[in-house]
Structure 1
Amino acid sequence: MGVSFFGAIGAFLIWLGSNILGAFVNLFTALTQTSLWLDWLSWDNTTEDKQSVMRLVYYGGSVEFFFVVFTAFLVLTAVGLYFRNVMWGMVRGLEGVANTLGRFFAWAGLLMVLQQIIIVFMQRVFARPDMSFGLGIALEKDISWYAEELKFYNALVVCLCVTYTFVQGGHVRVDLIYAGISHRAKRVVDMCGSLLFMMPMAVLTWMYGWYFLWRHLIVPKPSASDALERLVMKARALRWNVETIGFSPNGFNGYFLFKILLVTFAGLVFLHAIAFFYRSLLEFIEGEDATNKYLDKDSLGEGEEAYEGAH
């Protein structure tokens, strides 16, 4: 019993070490042989192009890709611990990406409200069954198409503003012990939360969302259980089959965009988990003076501090 247990631990450590070392080789191969997985961008409908699509599908949700990202995280963490300013720079950069995306796509909420008002007026006041937007070649669709498109605006806000809201402290939190513990204990809780909750859930969402996306873009439909060789064999019958089916005959037909947003959401959450871990680690090392250092938070103005982070 004991021998088998320690044997399993040893086998796991060997597997982990080999994958971490292999990540350097895989990354070098991917960067020096981009034609293997980027030829599909030109799409000349050749066999090589189709195989590059399948390679992209496989590696995007593969163990190899995970260990490339994981190894990069380990290397950057080691460098950041030695050069602390580098780690602060990564924190500021990742939080800057979150803030920029969030502040831009938050306007989708205003577009959603304005479009809903226009829909109500067109239906109830002008009794029109369709609407047209734009100059020259206008976007002319049934009103039900625009009504269902409102879900897309909502998805933009949810998926692309999630990390921005996290930076701004706007997510709902349940505090049982956090407020009463010391500064360094809080940072330990934050680091554990990013490593044990944010990163694993982002990885799981990416794994399911990646294949969910591609199954609605191409046929034959890829499977997470398919080996690379099987996917390359399937490439002979590959063709684009982008999902354009709506819930109603004249409804919104761009539901593949939601799948793209799901994958984007997972990637953003994973990147911000890294930023949150680095910030918590640096604040743990540097003490209370480093609390919210370089944090770019929005302000509602003087006298409104109690309401900030509650939006």
Structure 2
Amino acid sequence: MNTSGNMPPVPLADCIDRAIQKIGSYIAWSYVLLVLVIMTQVILRKGFSSGLILLEELQWHLYAVGVMFGLAYAQTTNSHIRVDLFYTGFRARSKYIIEIFGILVLVLPFISIIFLHSLEFVADAWRINEHSESPSGLPWRWLIKSVIPFSMAMLALAALSRLYRDTVLLFRGDA
């Protein structure tokens, strides 16, 4: 079963995409938790004139987890935002070439830079056991910072899967 929209099947890429989508479907539950946290915070603030800093920080963290891992999910389902003004009218071969070029020249270098720079950032957070500056805030800021390299690695895997798929389809001549 092809998991990348209406693209022709490429077994290895389909397998990678399914795995990323499975992880993404579990992480999507963070949005349900996010809504519950927001509702709780609103009720506390508006109903009892007392919100919790811990809940406010938890909102930021849950949103970050959903967005960061959602990038890889969007890549595998081809549901990311793109400007299709001209692209939709191109032949399949031209689209594959554009995708390959975009992944090699734009996406992978971007992911590499973010990933490499995040390693020291995360290591420092772990080293000092970074936590919220607020006494009543979340105690494990190093944990949310760890999402950055993990999500970038997953996005890189998704981009490599797409690169492989488009390369195979280009050389196979699928339209």
Aligned pair 1:103/2:25, yes or no?
yes
- 2 CA distance for matches of 1:162 and 1:97? 14
Aligned pair 1:117/2:39, yes or no?
yes
1:180 Cα offset (Å): 2.3
Residue identity opposite 1:103 in structure 2? S
1:1-311 equivalence runs, <5 A: 88-126=10-48, 143-218=52-127, 241-244=128-131, 246-288=132-174
Considering only CA atoms, is the larger Rg found in Structure 1 or Structure 2?
1
**Mind listing any 5+ residue stretches in structure 2 that lack a counterpart?**
1-8
Residue identity opposite 2:116 in structure 1? M
Contact kept in structure 1, 2:72 and 2:155, CA below 8 Å: yes
- 2 CA distance for matches of 1:266 and 1:247? 26
1:88 Cα offset (Å): 3.4
- 2 CA distance for matches of 1:97 and 1:106? 14
- The structure with the greater share of residues assigned to helix is 2
1:128 Cα offset (Å): 5.8
Corresponding residue SS for 1:171: coil
Corresponding residue SS for 1:157: helix
Residue identity opposite 2:129 in structure 1? V
- 1 CA distance for matches of 2:173 and 2:32? 40
Residue identity opposite 1:242 in structure 2? N
Contact kept in structure 1, 2:24 and 2:73, CA below 8 Å: yes
1:286 Cα offset (Å): 2.8
Per-residue CA deviations over 1:239-291 (Å, capped at 9, x if unaligned) read: xx3112x14332223221232111112111211111011110122123345xx
Corresponding residue SS for 2:146: helix
Aligned length: 167
Corresponding residue SS for 1:186: helix
1:101 Cα offset (Å): 1.5
Residue identity opposite 1:243 in structure 2? E
Contact kept in structure 2, 1:102 and 1:165, CA below 8 Å: no
**Mind listing any 5+ residue stretches in structure 1 that lack a counterpart?**
1-86, 130-142, 219-240, 290-311
- 1 CA distance for matches of 2:130 and 2:170? 48
TM superposition score normalised by structure 2 = 0.85
Contact kept in structure 1, 2:34 and 2:63, CA below 8 Å: yes
- 2 CA distance for matches of 1:216 and 1:272? 27
